[in-house]
Amino acid sequence: MIFSHSEWLLVCRVSGNLLSVPTMKPLHILTLAVTAVILAGCASQPKPEERPYTDAEVKQFALEMLSRSGLPYEDYEKVRNAILHPKVPSVGKDLPLQRSGRS
């Protein structure tokens, strides 16, 4: 004998069988899923605001990486001096020489 869903629930209730599980409608499933996603988003911690690194922090990081590099002593000293005392060109020294347009 074949029963429809509603007939099966009626047969189970009359016979006292508690094996029937009501099915969820697609709208209920969608609502439950959206609610779970929203609650999961609210529970996550916000990212801290990122800020640019200062020159001192960049220099400190470079020195830390240099100390872990395993370079020979002479190369280590050259790079360390370049980090600690960078050569900054004076204004206009790094530009090519300009010739006058009149010849």
Instruction: Flag whether 76 is in a domain.
Output: yes
Instruction: Flag whether 19 is in a domain.
Output: no
Instruction: Flag whether 7 is in a domain.
Output: no
The dihedral built from the CA positions of residue 64, 69, 73 and 74, taken in this order, carries a sign that is negative
Question: What range does the domain containing 70 cover?
Answer: 55-84
Instruction: Flag whether 68 is in a domain.
Output: yes
The total of structural domains in the chain comes to: 1
Instruction: Flag whether 66 is in a domain.
Output: yes
| Residue 94 pLDDT class (50, 70, 90 cuts) | low
Instruction: Flag whether 102 is in a domain.
Output: no
Instruction: Flag whether 64 is in a domain.
Output: yes
CA–CA distance, 60 with 54 (Å, rounded to integer): 10
pTM of the model: 0.42
pLDDT tens for residues 56-89? 999 999 999 999 999 999 999 999 999 999 887 7
Instruction: Flag whether 59 is in a domain.
Output: yes
Q: Are 63 and 80 in contact (CB under 8 A)?
A: yes
Number of CB atoms found within 10 A of residue 54's CB: 9
